[in-house]
Amino acid sequence: MKLKRIVSIGVVGAVVACATLVMPTFSLAAASGGYVDYAKVVESEPLLRTVRVSIPRQECWDETVTVTQPAPGKSYTPEIFGSILGAAVGNQFGRGSGRDIATVAGAVLGGSLAHDYKNRRAVPYGQTYQTVEERCQTIHEQHTEERIDGYDVTYRYNGREYSTRMAHDPGDTIRVRVSVSPLE
């Protein structure tokens, strides 16, 4: 019998010692703004908002169009380049005044050839023809969706129910801050 009494006192002593160590921690936690505990979630109801969503899609088709061949621009670059090239080639022939004549003849011939080449077209200027071109337009398909803006949460702590609004679904439990202060 004496042995049981020593064991009982040992267990009780250990419990008292632990309580003595833990109590200042709770008092300190309460003095510094409380402590964190868990409460059971009773209900979590999503807050729904209906929004209109626009989804763009591109729709394309082939279309026959009539085109008029435009007149050429006012650029004389081909003729100038042709004249310079022709003068350089003509300068290679003859001597004295014959060389001068060959240079001038080469410049005139080169300019004329460049002019003719510039004005040669498969479709003459001002003539119309038909071709197929791809046309596209963007179409916006709209529909409505429900989106979750948050949750109205009801939870139970220490036998009392409380409510809050949260950005996410808390699940089965919610962390709560517990704070106790004396009334004066």
Question: Looking at residues 162-177, what average pLDDT do you find?
Answer: 94
Is pLDDT above 50 for 8?
no
pLDDT for residue 124: 63
How confident is the model over 144-153, as pLDDT tens digits?
999 999 999 9
How confident is the model over 22-79, as pLDDT tens digits?
444 444 444 557 899 999 999 999 999 999 999 999 999 999 998 887 766 677 777 7
pLDDT for residue 57: 93
Q: Is the pTM of this model over 0.75?
A: no
Q: Which residues contact 8 (CB under 8 A, 6 or more apart)?
A: none
pLDDT grade for 95, boundaries at 50, 70 and 90: confident
